[in-house]
Amino acid sequence: MKKIYLDNAATTPIRKEVIAEMITIMQEDFGNPSSTHSYGRSAKSALETSRKSIAKILNCVAQEIIFTTNATEASNWILRNSVKDLGVKRIITSKVEHHATLYTVQNLQREFGIDVDYVKILPNGDVDLTNLVHLLSSDVKTLVTLMHVNNETGCILDLEKTGRLCHQHNALFHCDTVQSIGKTEFNLAETNVDFIVASAHKFHGPKGAGFAFVKKGIILQPMLFGGEQEKGLRAGTEAVHQVVGMAKALELSYHNLNEERNYILDIKNYCKEQLLLNFPEIKINGENTFYNILNILLPFSPEKTAMILFNLDMKGIAVSRGSACQSGSPKPSHVLAEMLQEEDLLKPSLRISFSHYNSREDIDVLIQELKGI
Ligand code: PLP
C-alpha cells in the first residue's frame, strides 16, 4: 500500500541532503564545541557558520539567533523572561494560539498575577486588529504574542502591521513563526518584531533543533544554568549535528522557495477544487490562508467524526483534525471553537497540509477514500 502523508503542519520529512550533512557532522565533527583543541574548534565553527547562515537568510545579526531544542522551549523562555525580568505586567494574546503559547501565558498569569487579554478573532479566522489597537491603549507594560500562520487553519497574521501597532504603543511583540519560517520571506531588520521562534522539523529539518530570535538590545536572563554555551543563556553541550541540519534545511527551503511555493499552492488549489466538486456542501475554515494548509468542514454527520481519521489511516493516508498534540482528543479544536457556530463545531473538520513531496495523485486517492466513508 502506498502511504500518503498530508500532515505537513505537524511535521515534515527531512530532506535527504540534510540527512547527509548531519551524518558528515556526526562522523567528522564530533568534538565538543567548548573544547579548545582542533576537534572542538571545528565543531564550534560548524555551529557559528550555521548561526550566520540562518541570520543571513532572515536578515538579522548572528548574535540575535539563540539555538534551542524547539520552538516550545524558545517561547516558554521568552514569555517567562519577559514577565520575570523585563517588567511585563500584561500579555495580549488570542485564543487560537498554539498551546506552547496559550498554556505558558496561563501559567504566568497564575504564577505572577499578570493581566491577560485575548484579542477578538473574526469569523473568517483573522485577528481583529481594531480590537488589538483598543487593547493596546493602556499604559501598563505589555507584551503581545500572536502567531504568524495558524497551525490548524493556516490563517495569516499581517506581521508588519501588527508589529508596527505594537511598537507604536510601546508593547513588546513575540510572534510564533513556527509555521511560516522556511516557507515565506522574512526581513527581521525591517520588521517591528522583538522575538520570533522556529522548529527545524517544520521545514524539512531534524526534530530536536529550533531557535529564538531576540532583537539586539533586549537582555534576557538564562533559561538554563551551567556552561557558557549560547552566551550563557542556554547552558548545555550543543547538538552540533542538529543545528547544522537545521541550517541546511533552511538554506534549501529558501533556495527552492519560489518553485516549491508555486507547486504546493497548485496542489492545494487542486485539492480544494476536487473537494468542492465531489462534496459541494463542504465549507472551508478560514479565509485568508497560507499556501500549504487547508482546513475543511465535511458535510458528514457528527457520528462519523471519529471514524474519518481512523478510516483514512487504515488506507495509509495521514491527515489530522488539528494540531498533532490534540488529534487523538475527542474535544473540539480550541481554534475552530473561536470561529465556528455550535452546530458546525460538532461536524468533522479535517486539516490537510501539503509539502513539495505531495502530488495531484495523492489528492485523487484522498478524495476517493473520502467518498467511500
Ligand atoms: N507553534 C506552532 C504554530 C506549531 O505548529 C507548533 C507545533 O506544532 C509549535 C508552536 C510547537 O513546536 P514544537 O513542538 O516543535 O516545539
Query: Domains in the chain, start-ordered, CATH in brackets?
Result: 4-12+257-372 (3.90.1150.10), 16-255 (3.40.640.10)
With a cut of 70, say whether residue 322 has pLDDT above it.
no
Q: Strand, coil or helix: what is 196?
A: strand
CA atoms within 13 A on the CB side of 336: 26
Contact 65, 55 (CB under 8 A): yes
For residue 292 and ligand 1, the question of a CB distance below 6 A is answered with no
Compute, in angstroms, the gap from residue 207 CA to the centroid of ligand 1.
Answer: 11
Compute, in angstroms, the gap from residue 98 CA to the centroid of ligand 1.
Answer: 7
Active site residues: 325
For residue 151 and ligand 1, the question of a CB distance below 6 A is answered with yes
For residue 94 and ligand 1, the question of a CB distance below 6 A is answered with no
Q: Strand, coil or helix: what is 283?
A: strand
Q: Strand, coil or helix: what is 230?
A: helix
Interatomic CA distance for residues 115 and 178, integer angstroms: 25
Interatomic CA distance for residues 63 and 256, integer angstroms: 26
Among protein residues, the one whose CA lies closest to atom 8 of ligand 1: 10
How does the average pLDDT of the chain come out, rounded? 95
With a cut of 90, say whether residue 254 has pLDDT above it.
yes
Measured N-to-C along each axis, helices 38-58 and 240-255 cross at an angle, to the nearest 10 degrees, of 30
pLDDT of the residue at 95: 98
With a cut of 60, say whether residue 358 has pLDDT above it.
yes
Residue 61 phi/psi, 5-degree rounding, is: -95, 145
Contact 360, 267 (CB under 8 A): yes
With a cut of 90, say whether residue 347 has pLDDT above it.
no
Interatomic CA distance for residues 235 and 363, integer angstroms: 45
Among protein residues, the one whose CA lies closest to atom 14 of ligand 1: 72
Percent of the chain with pLDDT over 70: 98
Among protein residues, the one whose CA lies closest to atom 6 of ligand 1: 178
Q: Relative to the CA of 70, which ligand 1 atom is closest? A: 16
For residue 72 and ligand 1, the question of a CB distance below 6 A is answered with yes
pLDDT tens-digit series, residues 45-55: 999 999 999 99
Interatomic CA distance for residues 62 and 53, integer angstroms: 8
Contact 309, 264 (CB under 8 A): no
pLDDT tens-digit series, residues 96-111: 999 999 999 999 999 9
Compute, in angstroms, the gap from residue 231 CA to the centroid of ligand 1.
Answer: 25
For residue 147 and ligand 1, the question of a CB distance below 6 A is answered with yes
Q: Give mean pLDDT, residues 132-142.
A: 96
Q: Give mean pLDDT, residues 12-38.
A: 97
With a cut of 80, say whether residue 246 has pLDDT above it.
yes
In the β-sheet with 293-297, what is the strand arrangement from edge to edge?
Answer: 283-284, 293-297, 349-353
Q: Give mean pLDDT, residues 205-226.
A: 97
DSSP string, 55-117: HHHHTS-GGGEEEES-HHHHHHHHHHHHHHHS---EEEE-TTS-HHHHHHHHHHHHHH--EEE
With a cut of 80, say whether residue 262 has pLDDT above it.
yes
pLDDT of the residue at 301: 83
Cell numbers 455550535 label which residue? Answer: 342
Residue 296 phi/psi, 5-degree rounding, is: -125, 150
For residue 323 and ligand 1, the question of a CB distance below 6 A is answered with yes
Q: What angle do CA 63, 67, 71 make, to 5 degrees?
A: 125
Compute, in angstroms, the gap from residue 110 CA to the centroid of ligand 1.
Answer: 23
Confidence of residue 343 (pLDDT cuts 50, 70, 90): confident
> Which grid coordinates belong to 297?
468542514
Span between the terminal Cα atoms of the chain, in Å: 19
Q: Give mean pLDDT, residues 17-33.
A: 97
Task: Report pTM.
Answer: 0.96
Contact 21, 244 (CB under 8 A): yes
Compute, in angstroms, the gap from residue 206 CA to the centroid of ligand 1.
Answer: 14
For residue 179 and ligand 1, the question of a CB distance below 6 A is answered with yes
Supply the DSSP symbol for 143: E
Q: Which amino acid is at 50?
A: S
Q: Relative to the CA of 149, which ligand 1 atom is closest? A: 3
Contact 75, 194 (CB under 8 A): no
Contact 287, 294 (CB under 8 A): no
Gyration radius of the chain over CA positions: 21
